[in-house]
Structure 1
Amino acid sequence: MRVTSVIRAVVLLLTLLGTWFLMQTYFQHSWRAISLRSWLGASKKPSSEKLPRHKCGNQKSCPQNYFAFKIISGAANVVGPSICFEDLVLMSSVKNNIGRGLNIALVNGTTGKLLKTDAFDMYSGDVTKLQTFLQGIKRGTLVLTASYDDAATKMNAKVRAYFTELGSSHVGTLGFRDNWVFLGAKGLMNKSPFEKHIKNDKETNKYEGWPELLEMEGCAPRKMD
């Protein structure tokens, strides 16, 4: 009897130990699994919402009755300029409608409709062609301009006067291989706020013989008073 009791006690003890071991293993594993899932759930960053894309890739959107634009000058004589207006690329290397010198896009200042694009090689005799082009611009037309390589070698006083009438403040001092981006309008009463100019200076040039490219974006009112 005494031996049987001992055996029963041992069996009971082993059963209890086995049950305890199983429970401990199961709950510990479950706790780890739950804790891992909880931890992952808690630490998982919420999926970032897509940032709104503005017209022409600009940093901000334009209010109603304003046109979004971005003008980028050429980089040295390697990378061509680009002109974007209301999310439409009007001139670029991809469109194959740019050239060294001055690249100009004309847009209706009321509707935003593209009227014309042209490139003028200022190394050659395009200055006469440019004069005729500028002289024919109608009142209320937006004029978007980007330089590439060199825009001033053969730019004469008459061409500079035309751009001054369009609202330019820097065309008078535009020199050899300077970079220049500009948005003006025919009939503008004041100087345009949309213009950037950087001099060709061997001390500060980013590229050998050329300054860094210029990039300008903004919102042009439908009627530039």
Structure 2
Amino acid sequence: MRCSAFIRIVVVLLTLLTTWYFAEKFYSNKVDMKSLRSMFDNKAEEAPRKKKVKFSCGNEKPCPDGYFAFQIISGAANVVGPSICFDNTIIMSSVKNNIGRGLNIALINASTGALIKTNAFDMYSGDVKPLLEFIKPVKDGTLVFVASYDDPGTKLNDEARSIFTDFGSSYAKKVRFRDGWIFVGGKGINAKSPFEQHIKNNKETNKYDGWPEVLEMEGCIPKKSN
């Protein structure tokens, strides 16, 4: 009897000790995990979320004082039209309903930033004469923005190409059928413009069926001093 009672006491004690051991281990881990989670949650609350700041014309970098910000985007195939933003104002776009197939051109006063005029010229089935009448009278101190849409090159003749070259273009004489082209130059700059992109229509590399990918460019243009 005494031996049986002793064994029962030992079993009870072992059960209690085992229960205590696992309970201690389990609950201490739970507390540690809770504390750890709480620590990271607090860190997350303390760290402010970084917002992507956009500047004039939605550009990623600000322009210094004395500069105009711009963004220019070519058309996408013959579906989505181009857009031109200058000094935080959209001056040509599908929404403004002042763009068209071919070459979309905006003329801006380089000193004041005032818009002079805009127009779109069909370079596939249209006549080049209206384009020449638009760009030949451009005066010194005028910024010239060009964005292609669908086809900028089929009717672009040597005279028009030479005028764009005089505006600072490096690619005007190379633009062909359905190429992509964006350009910012000016009358009287006497140098090659740093603001130009050109991509050839190539069925091996085209992003769209029959057209290359969209071109996009942003930057800062110094105001012309009087």
What TM-score bracket applies, with the shorter chain setting the length? 0.7 to 0.9
Question: What is the alpha-carbon distance in structure 2 between the residues aligned to residue 148 and residue 39 of structure 1?
Answer: 51
Is it true that 1:181 corresponds to 2:182 in the alignment? yes
Pairwise mapping of residues 15-30 of structure 1 onto structure 2 (< 5 A)? none
1:71 is the counterpart of 2:76: no
1:217 counterpart letter in structure 2: E
Structure 1 segments (4+ residues) deviating >4 Å: 34-39
Q: Give structure 2 stretches of 5+ with no counterpart.
A: 1-30
Partner of 1:90: 91
Residues 86-143 of structure 1 show CA distances to partners (whole Å, capped at 9, x for unaligned) of: 1111100111110000000111100111111100011233410000100111110000
Instruction: Report the equivalent of 2:141.
Output: 140
Aligned residues: 194
Give the secondary structure class of the aligned counterpart of 2:173: helix
Q: Which residue of 1 aligns with 2:210?
A: 209
> 1-side partners of 2:146 and 2:167: how far apart?
11
Indicate how the Cα distance of structure 1 residues 62 and 203 shifts in structure 2: closer, same or farther if over 3 A, else same.
Answer: same
Match in the other structure for 2:151:
150
Cα RMSD between the aligned structures? 2.0
Unpaired runs of 5+ residues, structure 1, are 1-30
Cα deviation, 1:148-207, whole Å, max 9, x if unaligned, reads 000111111110011011000001011100000000000011111100000001111011
> What is the CA deviation profile of residues 22-50 of structure 1, one whole-angstrom value per residue up to 9, with x for unaligned ones?
xxxxxxxxx99x96866643442523254
- Which aligned pairs between 1:1-225 and structure 2 lie closer than 5 A? 40-223=41-224
Which residue type is aligned with residue 99 of structure 1?
Answer: G
| In structure 2, C-alpha distance between the alignment counterparts of 1:43 and 1:216, rounded to whole Å | 36
Distance 1:167 1:49, change over 3 A: same
Give the % identical residues.
Answer: 59
CA separation of 1:44/1:210 partners in 2, compared to 1, >3 Å: closer, same or farther? same
